[in-house]
Amino acid sequence: MFERLRRILREVRSARSGNATMMVAIGVPALIGGSGLAVDMSQWYMWKRELQYAVDQAALAGAFARLSEDTEDDYSDRAIQEFSANMAVASGAATTPNVILANYNGGSNNSVIVRAQVSDTLPFSSFVTGRGVVIDATAQASFRRGAPFTSCIIAVDDDEEGAITIGGSVKLAARCGIAALSNAAEAVTINGNPEVDPGWVVARGGIDDWLGENTDAEIHEYVDDLTDPFADLTPPNDPTERTYSKNQDCKGGTNTTTTGTETTTTTVNVYTGDKKNEMTLYSSTVDGPVTRNVNRPAYKHEQSGQYTVTDTDENWDDRGNSQSPRYIMTQTTTTIEKNVTVSTTSQSDIATINPGTYTDLTLQCDTVLNPGIYVIDGGNFETNAQYSVQGNGVMFVLKNGAGMRINGGASINLTAMTTSQLLNIYADPPLDAATANGLEGMLFFEDRSSSGNNGNLIAGNANTVLNGTIYMPVSAMDFRGTITVTSQCLMIAANTISLLGNVNMETFCPPGMLEDTTISSGAGQVRLVA
């Protein structure tokens, strides 16, 4: 019997006619298993894709609800509603999503997180494992409520990494905002360990984590609607040809200066009433007194001594109608108590120059600039450390690669023009009221068609006073010193901005004034971040 069995096995081993049948018999289970797994995987992928899309849309809906005070408490209901609307194939197997508020990027409860699951059995995997599958999905959407942003330091380049770079031992206490229009991953970069107190930092791209970790500044990243506030302005022109040289312009003269102290108090009274001659005091606020040391050119007819100068301005507003008049009058009184000495000294070299077009304006002695537009065509406006420069009611227009270098001098005091001054100076073409109003406060204006100049530098000291806006849309702007303001807020807007070394910029606006240049329309923003 055993011999017969062994013979049969030998015959089976040597037989070749059944090979295909054996291979099919062995391969069929793998084929069936692979097909079943493929069907399950396609079903799983479809569920996962649908679930992820649904939680993404739910998170966005919840974040949009948080933008408005009218709907902020309904964010969870809005998210669940949107989740249900986007579930189709797996709707019967999905759990009710979990919707919560969460902190994002240094903010507090400024994002919505939605989590959900799909739990069901699949034909093949449930046969093999004896249980169903669970698919999870999570989405997070951040939101920022609408609020217009202002700033006094703006880099306008749209994609530069480190468009604003702050480093070294810089002391920057702007508290009027830093803004970068660049969409780079790190549009604002910190090098070294500066002392920075900017109030807020906003960028179209990302912001160095250092600012959020080492300052109390509000951090606003990836704000899409940031704009160049001066993009629509056109620089004015004075084509009068001028030249400047030491031999021609630097001549002996006198210099009249005022030194001492000035104490300023500003009182704002608001009156209301139905008749202009019968007004009642509604409110009164007093700012000051603020005392400061002065060392500046003397004003016309200014005298030595102790005395008080008072200026009162009234602004009327009609809030009623012909049947029921209602008036509001705001009265602003500025009182300056002076204790000053006006002195005149002789100078061996001093130049007084007029506005117009210069191929170069490198100052070679103490210089006074008469009010007007100074066009620098291809050269530089440059001050040197040993010379004082005074200019009240001036604007510098840089074109054809022109640049500016301010090396802290004995005394540098440059103040931009007001609207009324712009309307009364020579310009070709003449400026209308709307244009003059837009250009008010502009101190340096680089023509956008200029080829740019990467040598722009301000390396001032405690006596460097710049009142107005520095706008360099094509060129980089570097700061290496100290800048002071006295009568207008300082605004710096350039293609890129670097503040390095021993920069000390702790005052951007005089007491009682604020920088109100808007760089954002204030629209709310929602982003899917995870």
Q: Is the pLDDT of residue 523 over 70?
A: no
At 221, the pLDDT band (50, 70, 90 cuts) reads confident
Looking at residue 404, its pLDDT comes to 94
Looking at residue 369, its pLDDT comes to 96
SS3 50: helix
**The model's pTM:** 0.62
Q: What span, in angstroms and rounded, lies between the C-alpha atoms of 462 and 411?
A: 9
Looking at residue 437, its pLDDT comes to 94
Looking at residue 497, its pLDDT comes to 94
Let me know: does 175 contact 198? Beta carbons within 8 Å.
yes
In 3D space, the residue among 408, 421, 419, 373 whose CA is nearest the CA of residue 484 turns out to be: 408
Looking at residue 340, its pLDDT comes to 81
Residue 289 preceded by cis peptide, ω within 30: yes
The share of the chain scoring above pLDDT 70, in percent, equals 85
Phi/psi of residue 292, each to 5°? -140, 150
Q: Is the pLDDT of residue 309 over 90?
A: no
For the chain, state the CA radius of gyration: 36
DSSP string, 227-279: --TTTT--------B----HHHH-EEEEEEEEEEEEEEEEEEEEEEEEETTEE
List the structure tokens of 312. Answer: 């009162």
Q: Is the pLDDT of residue 62 over 80?
A: yes
SS3 466: strand
Q: Residue 44: exposed, middle, or buried by beta-carbon count in 10 A (0-12, 13-18, 19+)?
A: middle
The CA-based dihedral angle spanning residues 514, 516, 521, 526, taken in that order and rounded to the nearest 10 degrees: -20
Looking at residue 431, its pLDDT comes to 95
Phi/psi of residue 366, each to 5°? -55, 130
Average pLDDT over residues 417-441: 94
Q: Is the pLDDT of residue 234 over 70?
A: yes
Sequence-distant (≥ 6) Cβ neighbours of residue 200 within 8 angstroms: 149, 177, 178, 217, 218, 219, 220
Looking at residue 18, its pLDDT comes to 57
Residue 131 DSSP one-character state: S
Average pLDDT over residues 140-167: 89
Is the model more confident about 492 or about 255?
Answer: 492
In 3D space, the residue among 326, 384, 332, 376 whose CA is nearest the CA of residue 355 turns out to be: 376
Average pLDDT over residues 251-258: 76
Residue corresponding to tokens 């959407």? 141
Looking at residue 345, its pLDDT comes to 74
Looking at residue 88, its pLDDT comes to 82
Q: What span, in angstroms and rounded, lies between the C-alpha atoms of 215 and 209?
A: 10
- Checking DSSP bridges between strand 305-318 and strand 327-353, what pairing results, if any? antiparallel
- Kind and range of the H or E element at 421? helix 419-424
Q: Is the pLDDT of residue 73 over 80?
A: yes
Distance of CA 270 to the CA centre of its chain: 34
pLDDT digits (tens, 9 = 90+) for 260-302: 888 888 888 888 888 878 788 888 888 888 888 888 888 877 8
Average pLDDT over residues 296-311: 83
Let me know: does 494 contact 475? Beta carbons within 8 Å.
yes
Alpha helix (H) residue ranges in 15-74: 19-66
Cα–Cα–Cα angle for 446, 448, 451, nearest 5°?
Answer: 85
pLDDT digits (tens, 9 = 90+) for 314-348: 887 777 666 666 778 888 888 888 888 888 876 66
Q: Residue 55: exposed, middle, or buried by beta-carbon count in 10 A (0-12, 13-18, 19+)?
A: buried
What HEC string does 362-420 produce? ECCCEEEECCEEEEEECCEEEECCCCCEEEECEEEEEECCCEEEEECCCCEEEECCCHH
Looking at residue 255, its pLDDT comes to 73
Looking at residue 477, its pLDDT comes to 93
In 3D space, the residue among 511, 254, 260, 486 whose CA is nearest the CA of residue 392 turns out to be: 486
Is the model more confident about 131 or about 36?
Answer: 131
Looking at residue 476, its pLDDT comes to 95
Q: Is the pLDDT of residue 518 over 70?
A: yes
Q: Is the pLDDT of residue 75 over 80?
A: yes
User: In sequence order, what are the beta bridge partners of 102?
Assistant: 111
pLDDT digits (tens, 9 = 90+) for 174-200: 778 899 999 999 999 998 888 888 888
**Mean pLDDT, rounded, of the chain:** 84
Let me know: does 395 contact 414? Beta carbons within 8 Å.
no
Sequence-distant (≥ 6) Cβ neighbours of residue 332 within 8 angstroms: 266, 267, 268, 312, 313, 314, 315
